[in-house]
Structure 1
Amino acid sequence: MAAVISAAQSLSALLRRTHLDDHEEVLKAANAALKKSKSDLEAQHVKVVALLKLDRFDDALGVLEEGGQRLKERAQLEHAYALYKAGNPAEAVEIVGTVDRSRGILHVEAQARYRSEDFERAAITYRQLMDQTAEARSEESDLRINSGAADAQLEWAGQGHLAQKKKPTREDLEAFETAYNAACGSIARGELGQDLCNALDELSEEEKIAEILPITVQQIYVLTQQGRLEEAEKLAASLTIADIPDLSTRYIAQVNHLASSTDSTNPYLSHRLFHSSPKLLNTDRTFAFQSSILHRDAYVMDLQSSKFTGVASSTSTYLSKQPSPTTSADVNSISVLNAAAHARNTSGKAALKEILPLLEKRPNDVGLLLTIVQLYLLTGNHGSAITLFESFFARLEKSSTRSDQDVRFAPGLVATVVGLYKMEGRTSHIRTELAKAASHWRRKSKESSAQSPPQASLLKAAGVALLDSSRAEDLAAAVSIFSDLHTRDPTDRFSTAGFIAAYATTSPSKITPDDLATLTETKRLTADVDAAALEAAGVARPAPPPSTTLPTSTKKRAADPATSTKAKRPRKSRLPKDYDPSRTPDPERWLPLRDRSSYRPKGRKGKQRQQALTQGGVSEDSRPATPALGGEVVKGTGGAGKGKKKAKAKGGKW
């Protein structure tokens, strides 16, 4: 026991004399102490810290395992940090969840949750650290950088409504790291036109060379997404991929270079280059959204190399293990690739023939459903696409599972079927579908405290559609929708405009002057409108909806604006050839020939017909009835042949 105390005292004395940055000397002192006593807890703890300072994380974990539970309980912060740096962030999160919430533990927890892709909790932890004003002053820059990275990852993960910042501030653009994170967030939101990664003035030349590589790789991705393939290919050619030190960046650069190529290269060579990248280390692995894209790229390379059977088998196995239906972009994208493998890269009716049987086996596969709908649209069969969607929705509506209902009213699927209805001119169907979707998400939004729910755009579209209705229940639903949206975010001008429009006809007293002040003045909206030019151009008539258009053979040609203003040529005269302007025209010229006073019928039958048609003349049926013997009435027949029976028609019956 005395030897242990002596060793600890000698170690403490040595550490006091040793420079703080000389971690190798500290490690040697700790090893020397442990040679005298292997169970020296102080020396073990010092050795773990020294190994962490030297970035020897696996060795530090080995010492912690050898030290047992006593050492792990004493060095909980060091243990969690070593696990995080060694590529085991999930285990690090488990440890920090059982210890006191010190500032050091919060830092490790935030980093570990970020790397384990729990971005929501990571962002919350960074906000907690930033709220501690006194302690955060010395860490303000690092916390802003890390918080911006968490917000960018939330955008990539489809949880952008949880991000603290949507638009970069001036402070974010003053430093390279914060500008880079802001650019990544913009790319994730699809805002590809912003160039935010040029804040390199504060870096040295060596740092610029190191930092310019990921920026260039990111820029290649942006140009490819914008369709500017020639620029992307030129930029990719300027990179020396083999010289990129970071393995994950090198791998992504290789893939982006293949994706940006405009040459019809050999697919088998591209397949070989794609799979020639080195295997990534556990500490340098890609995030889920990156690995998902790389996974799909691998299947695309296989399809281009005509490996249809292998892709169909592999993707079918993957899909059989996934929940269905789902709105997961990864799962549904794999489903599309599975359909492409079965169709052997064909399209149109040939592809439909191969893919439709798959829908019978996987009726709730959203990716397969959208693939078939797209093929129907390519072949001009809009009715079948709508019928397919409606039957799919009817199946999900019968389900009692909440996740199935969320898929049924997923904004993307609702927008797709609304677009199909719009192509067919089914206005009432559009209003009904949006109203049902809005009702579902409003019920769910009551359970969430988010200021702006992810389905806000769908609710806005539903509100606008319901405002166009003349039904009282639809207008009431529109009022309720815009009231909720306006309450959640009073600064949203679209929601405010809908709120005012909804109450303008029902309860104008509920509209406050502050609400009206947020809208753009009418004078500003019409400042650049030339009323005279609009009046001179005429009123544009909208085209009729597709369902009410006339057949091609009965359509009238539209008037040509260039010829509509020309004076019409007078019609050719239709006067008779013997017309004499000095003679008085016959006043009875407008009457039929038989009604004119000069008309003289020819023949016996003509004279009899004329006598019958003469006004005031006696006709056969107008003679009075004569009483006969026995009181019977006999009607006169008149004319020759009186009293004779009519001759039997040939072949007739009596």
Structure 2
Amino acid sequence: MAASTKSLSSLLAQASIDDHDEVLKAANAALKKSKSDQDAQHTKAIALLHLDRYEDALQILEHTKELQEKAQFEYAYALYKTGYAAKAAEVADAAGPDAGRGMKHMLAQAAYRSENFAQAGKIYKELAEQNVENEEYDIRINAGAVDAQLEWTGQGELAQKKQPTREDLEVFETAFNAACGSISRNEFGQAQVCLKRAKDLCNALSDLSQEEKQAELLPITVQQVYVLTQLGKIDEAEELATKIPFADIKELSTRYIAQVNSIAASKEHSNPYLSHRLFHSSPQPPVTDQHFSFQSNILRQNEYVVSLLSQKVAGVASSTAKVISAAPVPSLSPVVNMAAVLNAAAHARNAETEKAALKEILPLLEKRPNDVGLILTITHLYVITNNYAAATHLLETFFKRLEQSESASDLDVRFAPGLIATLVSLYAQQGRPAASKNELAQAAEYWRKPHKSKTEAPSKSLMVAAGTALLDTHNPQNVDSAGAIFKSLYDQDADDRAAIAGLVAAYSITDPSSIPPHLLSYLPEANRLVSDIDAAQLEKDGVPLGSSANVVASESRKRSLAPTKAAPSKAKRLRKARMPKDYVEGKKVDPERWLPMRDRSYYRPKGRKGKKRAEGLMQGGVVAEEKGSPAPQEKKGGGDKGKGKKKGKGGKW
């Protein structure tokens, strides 16, 4: 072992540092003498990595556990370069915080590639705080890419930058990342400016060859086509897409996106069958150059939509059903829920109206009652048809089923921020603010409590909305809960203005003395709040001033309680059509003219029989039984009907 190591050291001393082929030969020679020589294996793996032979290097490093522990950085790098980013992140993370700065960079890259963008952003923030020379530029570029990915994956609250800064527009790489961040926030106008700046900066570089410039400019142009399409500038997008040499794009993932975007931007591809053929002719990227999951999901959606337009309904229904059945239900996965939406579209079979589509889709709900994507699709169709009550009932019933479930993961779905926002929007449409506040309060309470099954951190937007709603109730208990919510948000980010404003608002109601003095500096000055108010005009309009305001209000109240002479009401003018025929102007109209004559107060019946009848109608009067009048009796059927009546002349029985 010692002899082989000494021999290897002497061979490496004779070789050039940059001549990795010679190093590899020396390592192979040492391994011929002793296959278990870890130093030789380690040296060979490093040489293979320098020669871009990553799979061969990984094969060497996976021989023994001891070699993997000895060469953790090389092992993680080999895994990363061969497409095993998640495993590379595990190896780099296992090295611990004392592994060195190089391992931290490795961990950040592997976390980014394995889509753990929150971890990557945290590491880059730590690296930037240490301020090491010659690393600031690379860290700024990578951190910008992480911020864009956080926005795309719905974790924008974790991004370090929300808007491009001046320094971001000084280098073409950071300008490109700033454009990507703007695209992720749907700020396409700003993205267009950043992309143009990135192109200009790249063309102005003198240390790059024309071929290298072309390689850097192609991804920028691909993004420009997408931005122009989103801005509705289809003609410009189509013209720019025709100038892209797709074969020159080395990264197949970028080439695939470029070709798909060119189909969307081209008017010539209006034929769905031609678009279907062109879509599937795009090259598939290798394992080491895969799209991120959100990109793959969008591309898969495009594939399904093109197939639906090509009348391949049965195929879409079958393939999406496989995706749905392979996942647990209910699920918050964008892939599964989008498959459910497109599965519903396939079953609707291009229905002409929303009601016709509902008729075809509703039977699916009986088979998949907890399918989130299907429920949201039906909810959307109800909203389109202005049936908000049915949409609300559908979501409320779904939530009740999840609350009754014993599965903890079902509760994560029950209080998912997107679903909560949907129900709250329906409540707002129906004018039910109390129900909205109650729903937000329940969601905030759930996410604040420790729960081992939670799959994600509480949504900042949900917590802010819940805290604001609780403050609006003016209930002491709710205000305390709102204060706890904003306090937790403030502890996570001390510069969060929404958290600071909510915290001050809550404390100002419950305990103003407990407000930290430094938080008051964030509040706007009173002069700024009243700068646009004209005090003289307010006084002229009758607004009370100073401490005498209560006195004025009291006096005005006293005056209002004093008896005052009522103003004469203006007589209503009747239309001619409503006037009686014998109406005489100036003559008082009988107020009882609408009552029957016998019910009027001035009615006096005439004759002996009329007077007796009037006496019987009096309250408490004695009714004298008239001679010959029949006694009350039970009505019976039979032949006695009409007995004692005279037959009228010419009448019939």
- Answer yes or no: same fold by TM over 0.5: yes
CA distance in 2, matches of 1:7, 1:38: 14
Is residue 456 from structure 1 mapped to residue 423 from structure 2 by the alignment?
A: no
Partner of 1:181 in structure 2? 177
- Does the 8 A contact of 2:476 with 2:510 survive in 1? no
CA distance in 1, matches of 2:575, 2:125: 91
- The Cα of 1:317 is off from its aligned counterpart by 1.3
Is residue 407 from structure 1 mapped to residue 413 from structure 2 by the alignment?
A: yes
CA distance in 2, matches of 1:22, 1:509: 71
Q: 2:103 aligns with which of 102, 105, 116?
A: 105
Q: 2:340 aligns with which of 317, 332, 335?
A: 335
Query: Could you state the TM-score of these two structures normalised by the residue count of structure 1?
Result: 0.74
Is residue 350 from structure 1 mapped to residue 352 from structure 2 by the alignment?
A: no
Is residue 645 from structure 1 mapped to residue 627 from structure 2 by the alignment?
A: yes
- Does the 8 A contact of 2:402 with 2:411 survive in 1? yes
Cα 1:228–1:416 change in 2 (3 A) is: farther
Cα 1:406–1:8 change in 2 (3 A) is: closer
Is residue 88 from structure 1 mapped to residue 84 from structure 2 by the alignment?
A: yes
- The Cα of 1:391 is off from its aligned counterpart by 0.6
Partner of 1:11 in structure 2? 11
Q: Which amino acid aligns with 1:320?
A: S
Give deviations 1:159-189, integer Å, cap 9, x for gaps: 3333444444444333222332333233333
Partner of 1:21 in structure 2? 18
- Does the 8 A contact of 1:30 with 1:43 survive in 2? yes
Q: Which amino acid aligns with 1:390?
A: E
- The Cα of 1:411 is off from its aligned counterpart by 1.9
- The Cα of 1:388 is off from its aligned counterpart by 0.8
Q: Which amino acid aligns with 2:282?
A: S
- Does the 8 A contact of 2:332 with 2:413 survive in 1? yes
Partner of 1:297 in structure 2? 302
Q: 2:287 aligns with which of 262, 267, 282?
A: 282
**What secondary structure, in the 3-state scheme, does the structure 2 residue paired with 1:137 have?**
coil
- Does the 8 A contact of 1:220 with 1:236 survive in 2? yes
Is residue 382 from structure 1 mapped to residue 388 from structure 2 by the alignment?
A: yes
- The Cα of 1:436 is off from its aligned counterpart by 2.0
Partner of 2:321 in structure 1? 316
CA distance in 2, matches of 1:376, 1:336: 15
CA distance in 2, matches of 1:440, 1:8: 62
Q: 2:205 aligns with which of 191, 203, 206?
A: 203
- The Cα of 1:22 is off from its aligned counterpart by 3.4
- The Cα of 1:49 is off from its aligned counterpart by 3.0
Aligned pairs, number: 575
Cα 1:618–1:64 change in 2 (3 A) is: closer
- Does the 8 A contact of 2:297 with 2:334 survive in 1? no
Aligned pairs (5 A) from 1:71-220: 75-96=71-92, 101-130=99-128, 132-133=130-131, 136-194=132-190, 195-197=193-195, 198-199=197-198, 200=201, 203-204=205-206, 206=210, 207-220=212-225
- Does the 8 A contact of 2:8 with 2:26 survive in 1? no
Cα 1:531–1:389 change in 2 (3 A) is: farther
Give deviations 1:130-160, integer Å, cap 9, x for gaps: 4555xx3233322332333333333333333
CA distance in 2, matches of 1:149, 1:188: 11
- Does the 8 A contact of 2:263 with 2:269 survive in 1? no
- Does the 8 A contact of 2:471 with 2:506 survive in 1? yes
Partner of 1:50 in structure 2? 47
Cα 1:528–1:244 change in 2 (3 A) is: farther
Partner of 1:247 in structure 2? 252
Cα 1:352–1:28 change in 2 (3 A) is: same
CA distance in 2, matches of 1:32, 1:594: 127
Higher mean displacement: 187-196 or 293-302:
187-196
Partner of 1:307 in structure 2? 312
Cα 1:129–1:464 change in 2 (3 A) is: closer
Q: 1:368 aligns with which of 374, 389, 393?
A: 374
Cα 1:466–1:138 change in 2 (3 A) is: closer
CA distance in 1, matches of 2:517, 2:3: 83
**What secondary structure, in the 3-state scheme, does the structure 2 residue paired with 1:645 have?**
coil
Specify every segment of 5 or more residues in structure 1 that has no aligned partner in the other structure, as ranges.
536-569, 596-605, 623-633, 638-642
CA distance in 1, matches of 2:66, 2:626: 139
- The Cα of 1:480 is off from its aligned counterpart by 4.7
Give deviations 1:179-221, integer Å, cap 9, x for gaps: 3233323333334332334242563463432212111212223
Q: Which amino acid aligns with 1:14?
A: Q
Q: Which amino acid aligns with 1:645?
A: K
- The Cα of 1:306 is off from its aligned counterpart by 1.2
CA distance in 2, matches of 1:306, 1:143: 49
- The Cα of 1:319 is off from its aligned counterpart by 0.8
Query: Could you state the TM-score of these two structures normalised by the residue count of structure 2?
Result: 0.74
- Does the 8 A contact of 1:463 with 1:477 survive in 2? yes
**What secondary structure, in the 3-state scheme, does the structure 2 residue paired with 1:208 have?**
helix
- Does the 8 A contact of 1:493 with 1:519 survive in 2? no
- Does the 8 A contact of 2:27 with 2:41 survive in 1? yes
CA distance in 2, matches of 1:228, 1:60: 48
Give deviations 1:400-440, integer Å, cap 9, x for gaps: 33322222122221221122222222233223222222322
Cα 1:434–1:33 change in 2 (3 A) is: closer
- Does the 8 A contact of 1:11 with 1:33 survive in 2? no
Is residue 437 from structure 1 mapped to residue 443 from structure 2 by the alignment?
A: yes
- Does the 8 A contact of 1:48 with 1:64 survive in 2? yes
Cα 1:306–1:63 change in 2 (3 A) is: same
Cα 1:647–1:221 change in 2 (3 A) is: same
Higher mean displacement: 165-174 or 308-317:
165-174
State the Cα RMSD in Å: 4.5
- The Cα of 1:608 is off from its aligned counterpart by 6.6
Q: Which amino acid aligns with 2:378?
A: I
Partner of 2:558 in structure 1? none
Q: Which amino acid aligns with 2:194?
A: L
Partner of 1:602 in structure 2? none
- The Cα of 1:30 is off from its aligned counterpart by 5.1
- Does the 8 A contact of 1:156 with 1:188 survive in 2? yes
- The Cα of 1:365 is off from its aligned counterpart by 0.8
Q: Which amino acid aligns with 1:459?
A: M
- The Cα of 1:251 is off from its aligned counterpart by 0.5
Aligned pairs (5 A) from 1:558-597: 589-590=587-588, 592=590
Q: Which amino acid aligns with 1:185?
A: G
Higher mean displacement: 387-396 or 194-203:
194-203
Cα 1:494–1:55 change in 2 (3 A) is: closer
Q: 2:263 aligns with which of 246, 258, 283?
A: 258
Higher mean displacement: 73-82 or 431-440:
73-82
Cα 1:377–1:27 change in 2 (3 A) is: same
Cα 1:527–1:258 change in 2 (3 A) is: farther
CA distance in 1, matches of 2:13, 2:404: 76
- Does the 8 A contact of 2:409 with 2:453 survive in 1? no
**What secondary structure, in the 3-state scheme, does the structure 2 residue paired with 1:138 have?**
coil
Partner of 1:518 in structure 2? 522
Percent identity reads: 54
Cα 1:505–1:257 change in 2 (3 A) is: same
**What secondary structure, in the 3-state scheme, does the structure 2 residue paired with 1:322 have?**
coil
Give deviations 1:569-596, integer Å, cap 9, x for gaps: x99998999999xxxx98xx3264999x
Higher mean displacement: 439-448 or 56-65:
439-448
Cα 1:531–1:356 change in 2 (3 A) is: farther
